[in-house]
Amino acid sequence: MSDDLYARLIATLDELRATYRLIDHTPEGKTELVSAMRGHEVKHAAKCIILMAKFGKKTKRYVLAVTPGDRRLSLAAIKSALGATYVAFADAQTAERFAGCPVGTVLPFAFNQELQLIADPSLLESEEIFFNAARLDRSLALKTKDYVDIANPRFERITEA
């Protein structure tokens, strides 16, 4: 599953001529630990979290929230941005199904059409963003401009002040 997603990510970046580099490291999915292994400040990491949002009693959607690694996600901000009645973290099994890879390796791209991609604008403060590339042992450093051009996220303040 994640090998196919990794191949799709690299093919997409190559096809669109994105500026990136691969970084191999010891398997790790925790943002703080893997940032140290990759040799960058935690604020340059793209932390990717799958959420479940409810709209009334019958409508449910899933969201891929992307924040800088040093910021804390605000569920209240997501709820407000979406106009949802309830927002919570998706359970690991659901998150992996929507992301196509294990928790800790979720990409900042919504390759699944059912995922709505929302990114915090503070990501734009970094020239490059770093993230696990659908694997625990390989990361990617991607020019932020290329990320924005390719992923086309909806930007909303979704982190706590």
Q: What is the pLDDT along the chain (161 residues), one digit of tens a residue?
A: 568 999 999 999 999 999 999 999 999 999 999 999 999 999 999 999 999 999 999 999 999 999 999 999 999 999 999 999 999 999 999 999 999 999 999 999 999 999 999 999 999 999 999 999 999 999 999 999 999 999 999 999 999 97
List strand residue ranges (DSSP E) for the chain, in order. 20-24, 46-55, 59-68, 86-89, 115-119, 128-132, 138-143, 154-155
pLDDT of res. 148: 98
- Amino acid found at 28: E
Sign of the torsion formed by the C-alpha atoms of 9, 15, 21 and 22: positive
- Cα separation, 38 vs 30, in Å, equals 12
Say if CB 113 and CB 120 are below 8 A apart.
no
73 alpha carbon, distance to own chain's centre: 12
For 81, the token pair is 């941005």
pLDDT of res. 3: 80
- Cα separation, 140 vs 6, in Å, equals 11
pLDDT of res. 26: 96
For 149, the token pair is 């051009």
Q: Tell me the domains of the chain and their CATH numbers.
A: 2-155 (3.90.960.10)
